[in-house]
Structure 1
Amino acid sequence: MNIEPIVGRYVSVDVQGQTYRVYFEEAGEGQPVLCFHTAGADSRQWRHLMNDAQVTANHRLIAVDMPWHGKSLPPEGWETQEYLLTTEFYIEVVQALCAALNLSQPIFAGCSMGGRIALQLALHHAASFKGFIAIEASDFQPAWYDIDWFHRPDAHGGEMGAALVSANIAPQGPAVERWNTQWMFMQSGPGVFRGDLSFYTQDDSLVGRLGEIDTAQTPVHIMVGEYDMTCTPDDARRTAEAIDGATLAIMPGIGHFPMSENPAAFRPFFLEALDKMA
């Protein structure tokens, strides 16, 4: 019998006048690391790192399903709402979780939309965190696709989402994990991927504001896969160069979902990132 060390729990948080039952998984002890998934996915993207004894020996990894994602239900009355994620809501969810879990100076690690919010937190709430690991993150990414394709009556949104993300997964990764990564998007709730992409491609831009981030107070490390066509290495490099003191890692043979699509190749880069937060 091989029982994994990951433990899942629920916590209720109040955000913008509504109560959300949020699911999170954790593994390890020591420095807390809040781990946030990409658009349209959930905390399963982090499972390989959470099962890695070297990673969890000195770090308590906490992987969260954002509201509307994975095992976190949407709020009461969701059937009458249009889900459109905003920067303000996202930040308030993170703050509410930190308070509910009594986290002091966690490291924040996020990928894609989680990487974008890492930069927003570094700009507006750096004092509450020990450091930021912004994966596949840039100041702003305009859509090269029509986000409305992911919530239409004549198309399966989950399968459309998987088709989109398949173009951002590097071919070098193991086939089983490439397909597992796409499976998460196929399971996404109706309109959720579209609502996340609204945040990622239309909400608050950081263009012209990255110079306000103070890495002397809180370190910022940006990571990008060389096969990422959504947040390209050039996008990540441009972003890192605009933040005085930020560091950058370009990961060969990896796409937009590194911790999920090719965990073995991503592992040394993540360990290096944790070291930079020390």
Structure 2
Amino acid sequence: MTNVEPITGRYITVDIAGRPNRIYFEESGSGQPVVCLHTAGADSRQYRHFQTDTDVLSRFRVITFDLPWHGKSLPPEGWWNEEYLLTAELYVETVMAVIRGLELVRPVVIGCSMAGSLVLELARLHGAELGGVIGFSGAAHVQGRFQDWSLTPDINSNQSVPSWTYPLMAPQSPLAARKEVWWMYAQGGPGIYRGDTYFYSSGLDLRGRETEIDTSRCPVYLFTGEYDFACSADETEETIAAIPGAKGGRMKEIGHFPISENYPLCREYLMPALEELVAR
């Protein structure tokens, strides 16, 4: 059936912070495993264009998953008794639990926005288990997106949060793709975007520790769009300069959500990096 996409979805249960979590993941293709991490307050649908790219799927096994509290992954039992705040420790543990649970051998990890910063911590702490990392819209430290206003009862966060993130995209990016990003953000649970930006804005600071990342063991690529004002291209380039052997840089005519707001343009940066990684 030519109209059926090659993506299949399943669930895996892994222990995170001492509790079982039922995680929804999707995969397509075969070959070198590539694990894709979604942005704050969203879910793995952001990678649907990458997951249906026939050239990619002929060489790579592309795996995406929804973090707990996101998309089709429910919160862990007892969630109603706690405040959701994503810390660096919890985030790293979650990603590595999924990688190990799926028994992936040295996967490449791709992340965007908060996950574009997380890949640096993954490379620093678990580089020996990874085949390399590619981060979009990430840096050693990012400030300014953690706010409480989305929790107030007189604000409709399902409209205000996606509208707050919408200007982060470049005006050149296709309108349909930008509206799709808006729609995904409109479906996040209450307080989840705020809890994720706790990590992105307050939970990670690798400034002065960039040299702890060994790119000979785990290569690092970082890219940020010139229209991004949550994590500027200057911040990303400063991080690249501080990590010996890191590569990447500024992306022209694109914003904060490269792989979902303009996949064809993002692909021009992503594919050469992937090909360099698998050629090592």
TM-score using structure 1 length: 0.97
Q: 1:146 to 1:205 in 2, by over 3 A?
A: closer
Q: Is the 8 A contact 1:219 1:276 kept in 2?
A: no
In 2: Cα distance, 1:172 partner to 1:8 partner: 32
Structure 2 equivalent of residue 101 of structure 1: 102
In 1: Cα distance, 2:158 partner to 2:141 partner: 24
Structure 1 equivalent of residue 58 of structure 2: 57
Q: Is the 8 A contact 1:42 1:69 kept in 2?
A: yes
Q: Is the 8 A contact 1:221 1:276 kept in 2?
A: no
Q: Is the 8 A contact 2:146 2:194 kept in 1?
A: no
Query: Aligned letter for 1:193?
Result: Y
Mind listing any 5+ residue stretches in structure 2 that lack a counterpart? Answer: none
Q: CA deviation at 1:146?
A: 5.4
1:266 aligns with 2:266: yes
SS in 1 for 2:11: strand
Q: CA deviation at 1:253?
A: 1.2
Q: 1:275 to 1:185 in 2, by over 3 A?
A: same
In 2: Cα distance, 1:2 partner to 1:269 partner: 28
In 1: Cα distance, 2:156 partner to 2:222 partner: 33
Q: CA deviation at 1:152?
A: 1.6
Q: CA deviation at 1:275?
A: 1.4
Structure 1 equivalent of residue 184 of structure 2: 184
In 1: Cα distance, 2:75 partner to 2:179 partner: 26
In 1: Cα distance, 2:256 partner to 2:140 partner: 16
1:223 aligns with 2:220: no
Q: CA deviation at 1:276?
A: 2.4
Q: Is the 8 A contact 1:249 1:269 kept in 2?
A: no
1:131 aligns with 2:132: yes
In 2: Cα distance, 1:146 partner to 1:45 partner: 22
Q: CA deviation at 1:184?
A: 0.8
Structure 1 equivalent of residue 26 of structure 2: 25
In 2: Cα distance, 1:158 partner to 1:277 partner: 38
RMSD: 1.0
In 2: Cα distance, 1:234 partner to 1:167 partner: 18
Structure 2 equivalent of residue 152 of structure 1: 152
> Between Structure 1 and Structure 2, how many residues are aligned?
277
SS in 2 for 1:27: strand
In 1: Cα distance, 2:94 partner to 2:27 partner: 17
Q: Is the 8 A contact 2:233 2:249 kept in 1?
A: no
TM-score using structure 2 length: 0.97
In 1: Cα distance, 2:276 partner to 2:149 partner: 39
Query: Aligned letter for 1:119?
Result: L
In 1: Cα distance, 2:231 partner to 2:176 partner: 24
Structure 1 equivalent of residue 251 of structure 2: 251
Q: CA deviation at 1:194?
A: 0.3
Q: 1:146 to 1:34 in 2, by over 3 A?
A: closer
In 2: Cα distance, 1:14 partner to 1:268 partner: 37
Q: CA deviation at 1:249?
A: 3.2
In 2: Cα distance, 1:273 partner to 1:38 partner: 20
In 2: Cα distance, 1:180 partner to 1:122 partner: 31
In 1: Cα distance, 2:149 partner to 2:261 partner: 24
Mind listing any 5+ residue stretches in structure 1 that lack a counterpart? Answer: none
Query: Aligned letter for 2:202?
Result: Q
Q: Percent identity?
A: 45
In 1: Cα distance, 2:54 partner to 2:204 partner: 37
| Equivalent runs, 1:38-53 vs 2, <5 Å | 38-53=39-54
Q: Is the 8 A contact 1:35 1:64 kept in 2?
A: yes
